[in-house]
């Protein structure tokens, strides 16, 4: 998350007799830990961008006027990476969140189709070769 310095985040549903049943109650504790998440969830309090960064769910805080430039900068950094590596990394992270046991998550990740696809990809060979040859990799995304 890239946030403007004036951004506010909250799960305000308890203040109006509801609960954040669209996934916020499950995602927030996984991202910032149980106690900070419960503090936000049970009070419905708003958290500013800087506190969100300190809690670990905001990656960068910039002035409102610089928000799109910062988002483009992050997008460009991601685009410099292998598309298949990005796809596989996202897949492994999300699958790992379903595991309670770290060792099990690591072991199970090796069997994921996306990991096998990555390991058999041209990008898997291109990255280390480009690094060794001190050149920019030419990603194929396959």
For residue 24, the domain's CATH number is 3.90.226.20
Higher pLDDT, 102 or 7: 7
Whether 3 contacts 49, CB under 8 Å: yes
Q: Say yes or no to pLDDT of 78 above 90.
A: yes
Distance (Å, whole) CA 135 – CA 65: 35
Same domain, 68 and 86: no
Percentage of residues of the chain with pLDDT beyond 90: 74
- pLDDT for position 99: 78
Which range marks the domain in which residue 94 is found? 81-132
pLDDT digits (tens, 9 = 90+) for 80-126: 999 999 999 999 988 888 777 888 888 888 888 999 999 899 999 99
Give the total number of structural domains in the chain.
2
In a domain, 16, yes or no: yes
What local confidence, expressed as pLDDT, does residue 102 receive? 84
């Amino acid at each position: 998350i890239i946030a403007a310095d004036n951004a506010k985040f909250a799960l305000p549903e308890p203040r109006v007799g509801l609960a954040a049943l669209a996934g916020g109650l499950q995602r927030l504790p996984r991202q910032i830990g149980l106690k900070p998440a419960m503090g936000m969830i049970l009070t419905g309090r708003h958290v500013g961008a800087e506190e969100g960064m300190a809690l670990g769910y905001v990656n960068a805080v910039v002035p409102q006027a610089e928000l799109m430039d910062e988002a483009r900068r992050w997008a460009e950094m991601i685009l410099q990476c292998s598309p298949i590596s990005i796809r596989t990394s996202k897949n492994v992270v999300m699958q790992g969140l379903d595991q309670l046991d770290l060792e099990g998550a690591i072991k199970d990740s090796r069997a994921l189709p996306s990991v096998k696809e990555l390991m058999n990809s041209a990008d898997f060979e291109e990255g280390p070769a480009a690094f060794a040859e001190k050149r920019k990799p030419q990603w194929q995304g396959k």
